[in-house]
Structure 1
Amino acid sequence: MPKPAPHPSECQTADQLQHPHDFGQGAKRKAEQRATLVTLLTLVTMLVEVVAGMITGSMALLADGIHMAGHAMALGLAALAYYLSRKHAHDRRLSLGSGKIADLAAYTSALLLGVSTLWLVYESIHRLLAPAELMPQEAMIVAVIGLAVNLISAWLLAGKHEHVHSQGDEEHHHDSNLSAALVHVLADALTSVAAIVGLAAAWLWGWNWLDPVIALMAAMVILRWSWGLLRQTSSVLLDREGPDEIRRSARKLLQKEGDTDIVDLHIWSVGQGSWTLVAAVVAHGTTTPQQYRSSLRSIKNLHHPIIEVSYCRQCAKAREEG
């Protein structure tokens, strides 16, 4: 009698083909700790600057404090996004993992940055038309403290021994959430510098008008940063095709497996520094889907590639006749 087929639950082949569902989001990132620490630091400094701005009458200083309130919210959102991405990394209700939670947080941060900057533009114009009394000496002390906190925060977010745009550091190079947090901090630093310059001019020469003018110029720069973040994160959320470098590598590796024609190829981001791939190929040999998937293992952070293989009928017929 033929041996009975194994029960599906006992199938070793199925066990061997199982793959993790976290799409590279299950591990705790250093960026999560940095974002949490910088959030707490920003909250404390924000409270100091808002109170000092109201007491001294400095629009630039008050604007810096209000910006910090929005940025503290955005930084807290970034830290929360890392936590949620990690917590739900194995939730199979999320078809392609939890990685885009961080990208959604970065997109929201960019919106918050843009809206808060529009408020700064409005208040700066209002102060130009209706100048208010300043206490530049007292305000400058707090502005310098705020700038120091911003620089420390930027250093913490970038990492002590890492560079934000280092090609060898995948976590930073593709981390929109960390980039958004860093842009918020740099925007704070820029408004702090604007406050210091404006207050110095008011103190030395009585140029109270320069305070809102410099704040207005800083707002234009921050709006540009915000727009760049919106473009970057929206492309990820809308599943824009991955970088040309990864596409070229995937094509080269797939075509390396015998005589292969690539009919269709899609690569897109599924999280911070993580990618997935769907391809349709025509095989002129006998290469299996598993062999094609194995050939892609050299692409770093490529998760769960799906390969649809169609076999050339003429080639198959020629092999049979031979």
Structure 2
Amino acid sequence: MSRFEDAAFGAGHDHIFLGAGHENNERKTWAVIALCSAMMLLEIVGGSLFGSLALVADGLHMSTHAGAMLIAALAYTYARKHASDARFVFGTGKLGDLAGFTSAIVLAMIALLIGYEAVTRFLSPVPIHFGEAIPIAVVGLLVNIASVWLLSGDHHGHSHGHSHGHSHGHDHDDGLDDEEEAQRIATSSGMVSLSIFEDGVPPVFRLTSESASTKLAASALSVTTVRPDGAQQSFTFADRGRYLESKEEIPEPHAFKVILRLPDGDHAVEFDEHPHDHGNGHDAAHRDHNMRAAYIHVMADAAVSVLAIIGLVLAKEFNWLWMDPLAGVIGALVIANWSFGLMRDTGGILLDMNTDRKMADKVRNVIEDSGDNVLDLHVWRLGPGHMSALVSVVTEDLQRNPAFYHEKLDRLQGLSHLTVEVNQMRGPV
């Protein structure tokens, strides 16, 4: 017997999967466009009045810069205005990734044009009007610095669309996490490490052995926390393969004495509350690729301006005319590299690649801790900080319905949409 339910933890749910800093990022992007447009008009009008072709040319270049930023701004505005549009089955959260992918293509084309122009100048050098070119490059750099400042958003508060849980751990390629709050404990069978882990989930304890020959048994240990007011809480553990993890979550604050009970006796350690680290929004699941694309545009322009200034100054002082096109080649390579990274990441999201492998592990662990089996599992991103999961569960408990698993999985931060299929199988008669 199979029961199927599609829900975001309750009936009548919405499908708004925009990043936490969506509106703030939208305002910042429009502000950069206003700055670039004002600079563009100033250069074109000034160049026309004073007969400076170089100034007019830089003004036209600034217009392409504003146009590229317009892609990001329109994506933000459209996604916000149509966030509740029923035509978008899973909301408009991915529109920013589509805009980022488009911007990556534009960046790649810019890199090709810069590279082509640089190679052409290597083969056929042209006279350089240093008196005009250097000041224009400096002004362009100042505009780009101002744009970077506007987009960084630090002075506007946290607007990176990240999860507001603690971040006590760092993700490594080997799949293990190097928790900051790790306590090493000497036991009769070797050193063990007890730590607090809360990457995208409510905080839990993790216990690992530092010796490959020492096997920890979840049934043979327990942890008890003793808070300053005398309150105590006990924790049981589940075997995750490479580590043991507490089944119960750890309430805030994380300032308490821990008593670890092992077969060789009790071991006491202290945990202190550390300042919360909200991260910088650069993890794969929470990254706003639309803002990332806008940021790369201004950074690429700033890098080109810096290289241009260096190339022009060296060319002027030492008559190294080849420095100007060389700076162009280096700038083209840098932009091409940024473009490739942005295209790879946004393209994967548009193709529903799982950008958060940990979320899939967490969903599987929660269900298997309940004594059931996962028959099929798919996890993909709906927008910055919003993941969706489709899971097929096999259970012998006839009382368990999709709502049971929704309640279990509701603890996973960032899991914004859940589809559950329950296949109930009778046990042996």
| Distance (Å, rounded) in 1 between the aligned partners of 2:33 and 2:380 | 30
**1:107 corresponding residue in structure 2:** 101
| Range with bigger deviation, 145-154 or 274-283 | 145-154
**2:378 corresponding residue in structure 1:** 266
Matched, 1:149 2:143: yes
Aligned CA-pair RMSD:
2.7
Q: Answer whether contact 1:107 1:230 (CA < 8 A) is retained.
A: yes
| Distance (Å, rounded) in 1 between the aligned partners of 2:70 and 2:160 | 20
| Distance (Å, rounded) in 2 between the aligned partners of 1:223 and 1:152 | 23
Matched, 1:216 2:329: yes
Highest RCO, 1 vs 2 (Cα 8 Å, sep ≥ 6): 2
Secondary structure of residue in 2 paired with 1:305: strand
| Distance (Å, rounded) in 2 between the aligned partners of 1:164 and 1:223 | 25
- What is the CA distance between 1:90 and its match in structure 2? 0.9
| Distance (Å, rounded) in 2 between the aligned partners of 1:85 and 1:148 | 31
Matched, 1:23 2:3: no
1:37–1:237 CA distance, 2 compared to 1 (3 A): same
- What is the CA distance between 1:291 and its match in structure 2? 1.6
**1:278 corresponding residue in structure 2:** 390
| Distance (Å, rounded) in 1 between the aligned partners of 2:64 and 2:410 | 42
- What is the CA distance between 1:298 and its match in structure 2? 2.2
| Distance (Å, rounded) in 1 between the aligned partners of 2:328 and 2:161 | 28
Matched, 1:133 2:127: yes
Secondary structure of residue in 2 paired with 1:18: coil
**1:79 corresponding residue in structure 2:** 73
| Range with bigger deviation, 68-77 or 200-209 | 68-77
Matched, 1:190 2:190: no
Matched, 1:206 2:200: no
**2:34 corresponding residue in structure 1:** 40
1:229–1:144 CA distance, 2 compared to 1 (3 A): same
The number of aligned residues is 296
- What is the CA distance between 1:169 and its match in structure 2? 5.4
- What is the CA distance between 1:75 and its match in structure 2? 1.0
Secondary structure of residue in 2 paired with 1:149: helix
- What is the CA distance between 1:86 and its match in structure 2? 0.9
Q: Answer whether contact 1:31 1:157 (CA < 8 A) is retained.
A: yes
| Distance (Å, rounded) in 2 between the aligned partners of 1:32 and 1:193 | 27
Secondary structure of residue in 2 paired with 1:278: strand
Q: Answer whether contact 1:147 1:193 (CA < 8 A) is retained.
A: yes
**2:180 corresponding residue in structure 1:** none
Q: Answer whether contact 2:161 2:385 (CA < 8 A) is retained.
A: no
1:164–1:149 CA distance, 2 compared to 1 (3 A): farther
Q: Percent identity?
A: 36
- What is the CA distance between 1:46 and its match in structure 2? 4.5
- What is the CA distance between 1:221 and its match in structure 2? 1.0
1:309–1:67 CA distance, 2 compared to 1 (3 A): farther
| Range with bigger deviation, 22-31 or 247-256 | 22-31
**2:216 corresponding residue in structure 1:** none
Secondary structure of residue in 2 paired with 1:89: coil
Secondary structure of residue in 2 paired with 1:81: helix
- Alignment-mate amino acid for residue 127 of structure 1: R
Q: How does 1:53-72 map to 2 (within 5 A)?
A: 55=52, 68-72=62-66
| Distance (Å, rounded) in 1 between the aligned partners of 2:159 and 2:301 | 20
- CA deviations on 1:219-274 (whole Å, 9 max, x unpaired) are 01111111111101100111111311211222222223x21101111111112222
Matched, 1:91 2:85: yes
**2:423 corresponding residue in structure 1:** 310
Q: Answer whether contact 1:120 1:216 (CA < 8 A) is retained.
A: yes
1:137–1:89 CA distance, 2 compared to 1 (3 A): same
| Distance (Å, rounded) in 2 between the aligned partners of 1:263 and 1:66 | 57
Q: Which has the higher strand share?
A: 2
Provide TM-score, normalisation by structure 1: 0.83
Q: Which has the higher helix share?
A: 1
**2:152 corresponding residue in structure 1:** 158
- Alignment-mate amino acid for residue 17 of structure 1: A
| Distance (Å, rounded) in 2 between the aligned partners of 1:214 and 1:170 | 31
Q: How does 1:117-128 map to 2 (within 5 A)?
A: 117-128=111-122
| Distance (Å, rounded) in 2 between the aligned partners of 1:260 and 1:49 | 67
Q: Answer whether contact 1:262 1:279 (CA < 8 A) is retained.
A: yes
- Alignment-mate amino acid for residue 43 of structure 1: S
**1:9 corresponding residue in structure 2:** none
Provide TM-score, normalisation by structure 2: 0.63
- CA deviations on 1:192-228 (whole Å, 9 max, x unpaired) are 0011001111221222221111111110111111111
- Alignment-mate amino acid for residue 120 of structure 2: H
- Alignment-mate amino acid for residue 266 of structure 1: H
Q: Answer whether contact 1:128 1:209 (CA < 8 A) is retained.
A: yes
Secondary structure of residue in 2 paired with 1:303: strand
| Distance (Å, rounded) in 2 between the aligned partners of 1:209 and 1:270 | 48
Q: Answer whether contact 2:21 2:161 (CA < 8 A) is retained.
A: no
- What is the CA distance between 1:39 and its match in structure 2? 1.6
**2:368 corresponding residue in structure 1:** 255
1:22–1:163 CA distance, 2 compared to 1 (3 A): closer
| Unpaired segments ≥5 residues, structure 1 | 1-15
Secondary structure of residue in 2 paired with 1:313: coil
Secondary structure of residue in 2 paired with 1:98: coil
Secondary structure of residue in 1 paired with 2:324: helix
| Unpaired segments ≥5 residues, structure 2 | 1-9, 168-277
